[in-house]
Structure 1
Amino acid sequence: MIAVIKEKQEWSALLAKAENLDFYHTYDYHHLSKTEGESPILIKYTEGDTTLVLPLLLRDIENSDYKDATSVYGYAGLLALHIDAHFNKANFHNELNAFFKAQKIISVFSRLHPFIEHQEDLHTGLGHILSLGKVVYVDLTQTIEDQRAKYNRRLKTYVNKARKLCTVIEGTVEEHVQTFIELYEENMKRVDATDNYFFDTAYYHRLLSSSDFETKLMLCQHNESQEIIAGALFMKTGNIVQYHLSGLSEEYFELNPIKLIIDEMRIIATNEGYNIFNLGGGLGSEEDSLFKFKSGFSKDFETFKVWKYVVDEAAYKTLTKNHLGTEIKTEELHDGYFPAYRAPVKTHTV
Structure 2
Amino acid sequence: MIEVIEEKKYWDEFVSSFEESDLYHTFDYHMVAKEDGIPVLLKYSHANTCIGLPLLIRKIPNTHFKDATSVYGYPGPLCKNIPDHFDSAQFKNELLKYFSSNQIVSVFSRLNPFIPQQHRVLKNIGEIENKGQVVSIDLKKPIDLQRQEFSKRLKGQLNKARRHCTVKKTENDKELQMFMDIYHENMDRVNAKTMYYFKDDYFKKLIKSNSFQTETLLAVHNESGEVMGGSMFFYKNSIVHYHLSGTRTKYIPFMPTKLLIDEMRIKATARGLTHFNLGGGLSSADDSLLQFKSSFSKTMLDFYVWKLVVNPEAYHSLTEKFKLGNHDFFPLYRCNNQLVFSTK
Q: Kindly provide the amino acid, as one letter, of the partner of residue 34 in structure 1.
A: K
Which residues of 2 match residues 144-183 of structure 1 at below 5 A?
144-183=143-182
* TM-superposed deviation, 1:258: 0.4
Matching of residue 343 in structure 1 with residue 335 in structure 2? yes
Whether contact under 8 Å (1:137, 1:276) holds in the other structure is yes
* TM-superposed deviation, 1:85: 8.5
* 2:107 aligned counterpart, secondary structure: strand
Mapped to 1, the partners of 2:84 and 2:330 lie a distance apart of 35
Aligned to 1:5: 5
Counterparts in 2 of 1:49 and 1:178: CA distance versus 1, 3 Å: same
Mapped to 1, the partners of 2:279 and 2:324 lie a distance apart of 36
Q: Structure 1 stretch 81-90 or stretch 151-160: which is displaced more?
A: 81-90
Mapped to 1, the partners of 2:86 and 2:55 lie a distance apart of 23
Which contiguous aligned blocks of 4+ residues in structure 1 show a shift greater than 6 angstroms?
Answer: none
What percentage of aligned pairs have identical amino acids?
A: 46
CA RMSD of aligned residues (A): 1.6
Counterparts in 2 of 1:325 and 1:246: CA distance versus 1, 3 Å: closer
* TM-superposed deviation, 1:82: 3.8
Aligned to 1:56: 55
Mapped to 1, the partners of 2:24 and 2:80 lie a distance apart of 16
Whether contact under 8 Å (1:47, 1:87) holds in the other structure is no
* TM-superposed deviation, 1:13: 0.3
Q: Kindly provide the amino acid, as one letter, of the partner of residue 288 in structure 1.
A: D
State how many pairs are aligned.
338
* 1:303 aligned counterpart, secondary structure: strand
Mapped to 2, the partners of 1:73 and 1:229 lie a distance apart of 28
Whether contact under 8 Å (1:281, 1:290) holds in the other structure is yes
Aligned to 1:329: none
Aligned to 1:286: 285
Q: Structure 1 stretch 164-173 or stretch 291-300: which is displaced more?
A: 164-173
Whether contact under 8 Å (1:50, 1:87) holds in the other structure is no
Q: Kindly provide the amino acid, as one letter, of the partner of residue 186 in structure 1.
A: E
Aligned to 1:240: 239
Q: Kindly provide the amino acid, as one letter, of the partner of residue 189 in structure 1.
A: D
* 2:19 aligned counterpart, secondary structure: coil
Mapped to 1, the partners of 2:304 and 2:177 lie a distance apart of 35
* TM-superposed deviation, 1:97: 1.1
* TM-superposed deviation, 1:325: 6.5
Q: Could you tell me the TM-score, scaled by structure 1's length?
A: 0.94
Q: Could you tell me the TM-score, scaled by structure 2's length?
A: 0.95
Whether contact under 8 Å (1:49, 1:84) holds in the other structure is no
Whether contact under 8 Å (2:86, 2:121) holds in the other structure is no
* 1:192 aligned counterpart, secondary structure: coil
Counterparts in 2 of 1:135 and 1:325: CA distance versus 1, 3 Å: closer
Residue deviations 1:138-196 (CA, integer Å, cap 9, x gap): 00000100000000000000001111111111112323111001110011111111111
Structure 2: any 5+ residue segments left out of the alignment? 339-344
Residue deviations 1:46-94 (CA, integer Å, cap 9, x gap): 1112210000000011111111000011111000044368964211111
Whether contact under 8 Å (1:138, 1:276) holds in the other structure is yes
* 1:343 aligned counterpart, secondary structure: helix
Residue deviations 1:265-321 (CA, integer Å, cap 9, x gap): 101100110000000000111111111110000010100100010011000000110
Which residues of 2 match residues 49-88 of structure 1 at below 5 A?
49-83=48-82, 88=87
Aligned to 2:341: none
* TM-superposed deviation, 1:345: 7.5
Residue deviations 1:26-53 (CA, integer Å, cap 9, x gap): 11111101113x1010000011122100
* 1:125 aligned counterpart, secondary structure: coil
Mapped to 1, the partners of 2:186 and 2:83 lie a distance apart of 48
Mapped to 1, the partners of 2:200 and 2:45 lie a distance apart of 39
Mapped to 2, the partners of 1:297 and 1:280 lie a distance apart of 12
* 2:336 aligned counterpart, secondary structure: coil
Q: Kindly provide the amino acid, as one letter, of the partner of residue 134 in structure 1.
A: Q
